[in-house]
C-alpha cells in the first residue's frame, strides 16, 4: 500500500469526491501527466537552485531545519541562517542542549520567533524520545512541535525519499493552473486540492520526489502568483491555465491579511530586537522598555504575551531579558 501519498488516510476513501475526480478519468490524462513530469524533471535537472540542504548534502535533521526556517520566509533569506545554524548545532541533540537565549538570538530576523522555540522543543523530543534520530513516518513527524502537514510531508519526501504528496501554496498554485486551468484561491488546502495532488503524483517513488521538488521550484521561481513567466515555462504546452488565457491571473486570495504598523506584531518585534541587542545575560530595565513604544497598555500586553510564549523572562523589578534556560 502506498498510503504514504495520503497523510489523512484515517479519512474515508476518496472515491466519490465529486466534481474534481469525477471528470478526470479521461484517457489522455495519464499521457499529459507523464509529459508534464518528464519536462519538469528535465527542467529541474538544469535549473534547480543550489541550496545547501539539497542533493543529499545534509542529514534529515538538516532538511527539517531548512523546512521550518522556510515556512514563512523566502529561501534566499534562509540560506545564511541555515548555514550558521547547522554549523553551530549540527544535530537535534546539540540544539536541544543550547541555551534558549542563544536560540532566539540566532534566529535573528527570520521572523515568527516562536518557530525558533518550537524547533528547539522539536529537537528536545527527537533527542529524548527518538535517540537523536528523526522519525521516519508522517504521523510521528506531525506529532513533533512545530511540524505540521507541509513540513512532515516535505521531510518524508525530500529527506527520506518516500512517496507522499507535498502540498504548499506553490504546489497548489501550479497544479491548479496546469491541470484545472484556474487560480488556487482561499486559505487552507481543500479536499479537492489534496485529491488532485495525490492523483497527479507519479507512481514511481523516485519520480514522486523529483515531482514534488520540481513543481514546488517551478512555483517559486517561474509560475509565480502575479507574473508567471509562461513564455519560458517548460510545461506551457500542457498548461490549461495558459490555454484558457490565464483567467483571473493573480486573483486575490481570501486569506485575511494582517497589517503591521501599530500592531502587536510590531511591538513584540521591537521588544525582542532590543533584547537581542544586549550582551549575553543582560537585562533591559523596565524604564528602557517603556521608551520603546508610546502606548503603555499595548506595550505591557505585548511584554506579557512574549513572556507567555516563553520568548522573554521578567525579573522581580520588571526588567526583561531573553530566557536563560
Partner DNA sequence: GTCCCGGTGG
Partner DNA sequence: CCACCGGGAC
Binding region for DNA (CB under 7 A): 71-74, 77, 109-114, 118, 142, 145-152, 168-170, 173, 187-188, 225-227, 250, 252-258, 260-261, 263-265, 268-269, 272-273, 305, 309, 311
Q: Which is nearer to DNA, 34 or 129 (CB)?
A: 129
Q: Which is nearer to DNA, 69 or 209 (CB)?
A: 69
CB of 290 to DNA, least distance (A): 19
Q: Which is nearer to DNA, 11 or 72 (CB)?
A: 72
Distance CA 163, CA 160 (A): 9
| Closest among 3, 55, 104 to 306, alpha carbons compared | 104
CB of 78 to DNA, least distance (A): 11
Distance CA 36, CA 237 (A): 9
- DSSP bridge partners of 320: 284, 314
Q: Pick the catalytic residue: 45, 67, 183, 231? A: 67
CB of 22 to DNA, least distance (A): 25
Q: Which is nearer to DNA, 35 or 265 (CB)?
A: 265
Q: Which is nearer to DNA, 152 or 236 (CB)?
A: 152
> Grid coordinates standing for 27?
484517457
Burial class (CB in 10 A: 0-12, 13-18, 19+), 278: middle
CB of 160 to DNA, least distance (A): 16
Question: Measured between alpha carbons, how far is residue 168 from residues 21, 193, 253 in Å?
Answer: 20, 11, 15
SS3 of 51, please?
Answer: coil
> Grid coordinates standing for 193?
486540492
Q: Does the annotation mark 67 as catalytic?
A: yes
CB of 146 to DNA, least distance (A): 4
CB of 221 to DNA, least distance (A): 11
Distance CA 70, CA 78 (A): 7
> Grid coordinates standing for 311?
520568548
Q: Which is nearer to DNA, 257 or 296 (CB)?
A: 257
Burial class (CB in 10 A: 0-12, 13-18, 19+), 203: exposed
Long-range contacts of residues 176-180, Cβ cutoff 8 Å, at least 24 apart: 176/241, 177/223, 177/228, 177/239, 177/240, 177/241, 177/242, 178/36, 178/235, 178/238, 178/239, 178/240, 178/241, 179/240, 180/20, 180/240, 180/241
The set of catalytic residues is 67
Amino acid at each position: 500500500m502506498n498510503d504514504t501519498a495520503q497523510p489523512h488516510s484515517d479519512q474515508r476513501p476518496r472515491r466519490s469526491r465529486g466534481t474534481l475526480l469525477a471528470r478526470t478519468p479521461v484517457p489522455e490524462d495519464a499521457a499529459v501527466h507523464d509529459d508534464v513530469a518528464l519536462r519538469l524533471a528535465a527542467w529541474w535537472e538544469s535549473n534547480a537552485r543550489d541550496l545547501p540542504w539539497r542533493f543529499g548534502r545534509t542529514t534529515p535533521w538538516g532538511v527539517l531545519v531548512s523546512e521550518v526556517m522556510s515556512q514563512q520566509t523566502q529561501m534566499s533569506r534562509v540560506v545564511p541562517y541555515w548555514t550558521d545554524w547547522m554549523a553551530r548545532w549540527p544535530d537535534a541533540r546539540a540544539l536541544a542542549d543550547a541555551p534558549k537565549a542563544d536560540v532566539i538570538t540566532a534566529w535573528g530576523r527570520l521572523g515568527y520567533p516562536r518557530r525558533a522555540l518550537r524547533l528547539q522543543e522539536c529537537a528536545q523530543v527527537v533527542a529524548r524520545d527518538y535517540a537523536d534520530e528523526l522519525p521516519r513516518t508522517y504521523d510521528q513527524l506531525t506529532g513533533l512541535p512545530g511540524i505540521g502537514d507541509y513540513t512532515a510531508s516535505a521531510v518524508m519526501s525530500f529527506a527520506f525519499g518516500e512517496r507522499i504528496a507535498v502540498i504548499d501554496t506553490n504546489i497548489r498554485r501550479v497544479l491548479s493552473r496546469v491541470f484545472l486551468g484556474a487560480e488556487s484561491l482561499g486559505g487552507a488546502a481543500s479536499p479537492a486540492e489534496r485529491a488532485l495532488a495525490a492523483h497527479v503524483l507519479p507512481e514511481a517513488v523516485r519520480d514522486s520526489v523529483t515531482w514534488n521538488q520540481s513543481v514546488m521550484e517551478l512555483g517559486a521561481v517561474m509560475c509565480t502568483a502575479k507574473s508567471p513567466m509562461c513564455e519560458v515555462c517548460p510545461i506551457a504546452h500542457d498548461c490549461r491555465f495558459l490555454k484558457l488565457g490565464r483567467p483571473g491571473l493573480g486573483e486575490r486570495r481570501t486569506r485575511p491579511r494582517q497589517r503591521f504598523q501599530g500592531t502587536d506584531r510590531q511591538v513584540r518585534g521591537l521588544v525582542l530586537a532590543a533584547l537581542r541587542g544586549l550582551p549575553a545575560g543582560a537585562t533591559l530595565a523596565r524604564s528602557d522598555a517603556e521608551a520603546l513604544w508610546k502606548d503603555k497598555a499595548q506595550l505591557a500586553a505585548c511584554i506579557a504575551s512574549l513572556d507567555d510564549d516563553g520568548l522573554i523572562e521578567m525579573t522581580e523589578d520588571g526588567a526583561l531579558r531573553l530566557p536563560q534556560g
